[in-house]
Amino acid sequence: MNDKLLTAYKIFPIFFVFLIIFFVFPKGVYSAGTSNFQLEIIPGYQCYDGQDNDNDGLVDYPDDPGCSGYTDNDETDAVAPYCGDGSCNNGENCSTCSADCGQCPSGGGGGGGVSLPATSVTFSGRAYPLSKVTVLKDGQKAVTTIAGPGAKFNTSITGLSAGNYIFSLYGEDNQDQRSTLFTFSVYITIGATTNITGIFIAPTINVDKKEVKRGDNIAIFGQSAPNSEIIISVNSDKEFFEKTQSDQNGVYLYNFDSSVLKKGNHYTKSKAAVDGKITSFGKTIGFLVGAKNIIKAVEESLKGDLSGDGRVNLIDFSIAAYWYKQTLSAKFASKEAQQLNSDGKIDLIDFSIMAFYWTG
Amino acid sequence: MIQIQQLKNCLAALLIIFAVFFTTAPVFAAEISLDSQNREIGIGSQFEVTVSLNTENEDINALEGKLFFSGNLLALKEIKDGGSIINFWMEEPKQTEKEIVFSGIVPGGYIGGSGRIFSAVFYAKKEGKGFIEIRNPKVLLNDGQGTETKTKTSILKIAISAKTPSVLPPEKKDIEPPEDFLPEITRDPSVFGNKWFLVFSTQDKESGINYYKVCEGKRKCVTAESPYLLKNQNLDEEIIVKAVDKSGNNKIVVLPPQKPKIWYENYLYLVILIAGVMPVYIIRKLWKKYFGKN
């Protein structure tokens, strides 16, 4: 008996530690849609990458004599340059060394400019079938593309400088609903092509009722990639997870039985999984469980859209910036109450709300 | 006895584990840190301090703060916001007395361990011990509600000594122009009395944007900030916006007239018309007078 008791006391702490680890620590690392893409950097040429590849203290063309041009992929100095070595470098030109640099042009006329390797980034992944996909570069629209019937898209941006960029992507579904932003930070290397693949934009979501009579169904619907598994979360004191499948057009619909919910405010959101890839949760939509059904009207104005043009971008930022730390006029205070946090002033919180609903 | 001892050991271990996990449970908080290559500085030296953000895996989209420095020992030489994670500044880092005030947003949010906000170059005026610190930091989550997250900061202590040799930071030449951008003309009842204004913003990945110039038609170009109230409310002239970085590189964007003049509204055409028609009329009159009746 004592042996059994002792064994139990030995096992119990281990079990207790396991419980603590499982419940106290957060499950996984928080990400904002960044966990699903892959980044591949195709380096530029050695003679146009900003690096001293051969450690001779000289960097790239035309400074390093080992480089015959920007597209030379070997900075190594073979021998000391001289006129007649076949390389037009080391300060040689058509006048000083025609053997290496060729004869100088006889007439005027231009042409013959040096073409530099392009610095570019490509994006590919999944959105919704035939949806418009927009790419923002540092918060401003850079390029838009249309996804194919299978929801796959591919686009690129060229002519970039080297440096840190913040790219955001979003899709617009067949009801013109926008997804949340899929945002990530990338360092772009000069002369290199950066391929970002495996982007999977979160589903759009909406509900058919603003208020649902407790016990009736509320329709939760939206769009994602075709034939993907949609995981729907409905939040109350207890979180409910339901699953459904999107059809060949990526459309999904789930009738949620509100009888399991208490009266009051609730929220729902969804994510999609297909071919081993999974999105993060998208937009959160609120609804009320009450005593009657109220159909949801056409979408209310977008939060942060001070200009009323259906977008949240630099124009709205500029309107808010005009009133930043100023006493609001009665007219603008009313707008602030509807579109921002209704505290009667424009401060960092209002801009944070605007940044969340940003569309570019 | 041995079994009781083993039991006591188990319970003790359990208590220790309980204390560790429940009293030191991790709390996520963002951190705005200061970093400099130099902590011991010679009189007359210049050194650069970088202000960075570590979001500690939280998704943030707005921040503000003040960088305070010992004004009796240090003078601010330059602020560099090139390559910042901040896409739009409500308050671009600028000196006001002994502090640099800054606030800005990152639309879409940012998660990272070393996001550059800006850097400041200081000049060591005299010997002594001083500090540089961030005050009143505020970092908000990208959650649609502007929820504030706990923010840690640190103090950078510096020692200026006559014995330490004076150095200047290495100069890095910026030959890249600012990024492409597209200014927009718009109006809103709550801004400038519903008059047309221009909004524009771009970034420079190296030295940072220095200023913008706006040229409306044939008017003199002016240094401008966004939002900019247009002088020509008819929008019938070309607008040129030039972004210039701190190394003098520039990017120019030309907006065509939004409401081009109808040809007869253009005075030049009228002058040409009159100048063309008048001689013909005069010649015809003279011809009739001298040759017409014969």
ipTM: 0.81
User: What pLDDT sits at residue A8?
Assistant: 56
pLDDT for A115-141, tens place per residue?
566 789 999 999 999 999 999 999 999
User: What pLDDT sits at residue A78?
Assistant: 61
A243 φ, ψ (degrees, to nearest 5)? -125, 145
B12 half-sphere exposure, CB direction, 13 A CA radius:
6
Report the DSSP beta bridge partners of residue A29: none
Say if residue B47's pLDDT is above 50.
Answer: yes
Q: Where residue A350 falls among pLDDT bands split at 50, 70, 90? A: very high
How far apart are the C-alpha atoms of A302 and A175, rounded to whole Å? Answer: 15
Q: Which of residues 28-57 of A touch B (CB under 8 A)?
A: 29-32, 34
The fold of B28-161 is Immunoglobulin-like (2.60.40)
Q: Which residues of A touch B142 (CB under 8 A)?
A: 32, 352, 355-356
**Closest-approach residue (CA) in chain B for A180:** B108
Chain A: closest CA distance from residue B125 (Å): 33
pLDDT for A149-190, tens place per residue?
999 999 999 989 889 999 999 999 999 999 999 999 999 988
Q: Which residues of A touch B105 (CB under 8 A)?
A: 317, 351-352, 354-355
Q: What is the mean pLDDT of residues B196-205?
A: 95
Angle at B24 (CA atoms; ends B20, B30), nearest 5 degrees = 155
Chain A: closest CA distance from residue B65 (Å): 11
Domains of chain A: 38-43+117-200 (2.60.40.10), 206-295 (2.60.40.10), 314-356 (no CATH)
Q: Which of residues 277-336 of A touch B (CB under 8 A)?
A: 284, 303, 306-307, 314-315, 317-319, 321-324, 329, 331-332, 335
Q: A32 vs B227: CB contact, 8 Å cut-off?
A: no
Q: Where residue A211 falls among pLDDT bands split at 50, 70, 90? A: very high
Residue B62 DSSP code = E
Residue B68 and residue B132 in contact, taking contact as beta carbons nearer than 8 Å? yes
Angle at A14 (CA atoms; ends A9, A15), nearest 5 degrees = 90
Q: What is the mean pLDDT of residues A85-111?
A: 61
Q: Choose from A22, A179, A318 for mutation: most chain B CBs within 10 A.
A: A318
The answer to which of A30-44, A320-334, B116-130 has the lowest mean pLDDT is A30-44
Query: Which of 3.40.50, 2.30.30, 2.60.40, 1.20.1050 is the CATH number of B184-255?
Result: 2.60.40
CB-based contacts of A90, cutoff 8 Å, min separation 6:
A65, A81, A82
Q: A181 vs B143: CB contact, 8 Å cut-off?
A: no
pLDDT for B224-263, tens place per residue?
999 999 999 999 999 999 999 999 999 999 999 988 776 6
The answer to which of A19-23, A163-167, B96-100, B228-232 has the lowest mean pLDDT is A19-23
For residue A6, give the H/E element and its range.
Answer: helix A2-24
The answer to which of A99-103, A135-139, B109-113 has the lowest mean pLDDT is A99-103
Say if residue A112's pLDDT is above 50.
Answer: no
Position B291, amino acid: F
Residue A144 and residue A184 in contact, taking contact as beta carbons nearer than 8 Å? no
Say if residue A64's pLDDT is above 70.
Answer: yes
Q: 3-class DSSP state for residue B286?
A: helix
Q: What percent of chain A has pLDDT over 90?
A: 59
Q: A319 vs B227: CB contact, 8 Å cut-off?
A: yes
Q: How far is CA A138 from CA A264, B88, B247, in A?
A: 39, 9, 21
Strands (E), A10-151: 38-42, 120-126, 132-137, 140-146
The answer to which of A115-129, B82-96, B245-259, B266-280 has the lowest mean pLDDT is B266-280
Q: Where residue A75 falls among pLDDT bands split at 50, 70, 90? A: confident
User: Which among B64, B110, B186 has CB closest to A185?
Assistant: B110
Q: How far is CA A73 from CA A24, A45, A159, in A?
A: 52, 5, 20
- Average confidence score pLDDT of chain A: 84
CB pairs under 8 A between A and B: 180
CB-based contacts of A335, cutoff 8 Å, min separation 6:
A306, B190
Q: What is the mean pLDDT of residues A259-282?
A: 94
- Average confidence score pLDDT of chain B: 87
Strands (E), B111-189: 115-124, 128-141, 148-149, 151-153, 155-161, 184-186
Q: What is the mean pLDDT of residues A13-34?
A: 45
